[in-house]
Amino acid sequence: MRVAAIQALEHHLPERRLKNDELAKLYPDWSAQKIFDKTGIRERRVVAPDEFASDLGAAAAEKLFARTGIDRATVDLLVYCTQSPDYFLPTTACILQERLGLPTTTAAFDYNLGCSAFPYGLAMIRGLIETGAASTALLVMAETYSRFIHPMDKSVRTLFGDAASAVLVTATEREAPTLGPFVLGTDGKGANNLIVKRGGIRQPIGTEPLVETTDNSGNVRTEANLYMNGPAILEFTIRRIPAVFKELLARAEVTLSDVRWVIMHQANEYMLRYLQKKIGIPDEKFAVHLEHCGNTVSSTIPIVLQHLVKEGQVKRDDLLLTLGFGVGYSWGANLIRWSPDR
């Protein structure tokens, strides 16, 4: 049967490293070790002033082309996820199509999601490939939250890093699907708990002065900066995500013992370990990999997956469970049967 299968993954990080020692100088009550203890992160990457999300995405895609040797003329679908687009319009995917030298027969579009982006992207691509609308798809996810973060807001600056990832998904013949099932969901009641309020159409910058405010923890921000209600995000996560995990296993008619790796969105290590314990996932099945890149939003899951593959910790026919959750609130989970052609 015709199915969609992941063939390869790559990622790209900007050069500048923002280390805990540097942040500790700005936040006297948080030492470098305290930042690590709270987050599991020692450094995160941030873009240069003249570097943008699409630059990271293009670099990740070029790495993928170079490593796989795939003829880019065969690509007929480009799906790009970002919350940091180059422009309101046109869609950045159209710009990347030309920049990457993809044929004009390539369908290209953007979608706007954060931490749930990977399962959603795979779900869309699987549908387009398995209905015959595409055969060779490039999924690119790129984010530069550093551009939204106030330098004196330690609640988010200690967490987020900039990055991009690229995933090659192609049509192939298998006896059963390699992607899915999927569990997707949304709860827009949480929209204001992770948000950049100003800068869009509803609340543009320039109509009213931006005012810096300081919260009870000493974090400084304006409405043009990223705001995160950490306690509310944690409450949502521990309430919703274990149920999503169980629903996916039930829908697939498998158990945790059938799964080789559980790869969750790498929000921070505290949250990951809490979920691991609550769900009951053994250490040998639970992937944590954010110490040197931070929370890269849409790219956390593919970065972890690429790391595991590179280290030889994923074998052919291994069953992988990925689960993304966050801004929106939005969540997505899916299974991957790892079976690349090459």
Which residues, 6+ apart, have CB-to-CB distance to 42 below 8 Å?
A: 19, 20, 32, 36, 291, 292
Per cent of the chain over pLDDT 70 is: 100
Cα–Cα distance measured from residue 325 to residue 233, given in angstroms and rounded to the nearest whole number: 10
Alpha helix (H) residue ranges in 131-217: 154-157
Q: What is the pLDDT of residues 62-74, one digit of tens each?
A: 999 999 999 999 9
Total domains, the chain? 2
Domain identity same for 247 and 263: yes
Examine the domain organization and report whether 186 and 300 are in the same domain. Answer: yes
* Model confidence pTM above 0.85: yes
Residues 225 and 107 in one domain: no
pLDDT in tens, 157-181: 999 999 999 999 999 999 999 999 9
Catalytic residue among 225, 265, 293, 334: 265
Residue 342 domain-assigned?
Answer: no
Is 112 annotated as catalytic?
A: no
Q: Are residues 326 and 234 in the same domain?
A: yes
Residue ending a domain, among 141, 173, 205, is: 173
Q: Is residue 163 part of a domain?
A: yes
Instruction: Please write the tens of the pLDDT for every residue from 85-142.
Output: 999 999 999 999 999 999 999 999 999 999 999 999 999 999 999 999 999 999 999 9
Percentage with pLDDT > 90 across the chain: 98
Burial 93-106 (b: 16+ CB within 10 A, else e): bbbbbeebebeeeb
Q: Catalytic one among 20, 219, 225, 295? A: 295
Q: Does 215 lie in the same domain as 76?
A: no
314 and 206 belong to one structural domain: yes
Q: Give tens-digit pLDDT for 255-286.
A: 999 999 999 999 999 999 999 999 999 999 99
Is 292 part of the annotated catalytic residue set?
no
> Mind giving me the DSSP string for 270-301?
HHHHHHHHHHT--GGGB----TTT-B-GGGHH
Span 309-337, average pLDDT: 98
Q: Indicate if 192 belongs to the active site.
A: no
Q: What is the CATH number of the domain that holds 130?
A: 3.40.47.10
Do residue 108 and residue 224 come from a single domain? no
Residues 330 and 293 in one domain: yes
Last residue of a domain, one of 173, 208, 243: 173
What residues make up the domain containing 167? 2-173
Catalytic residue, chosen from 12, 115, 219, 293, is 115
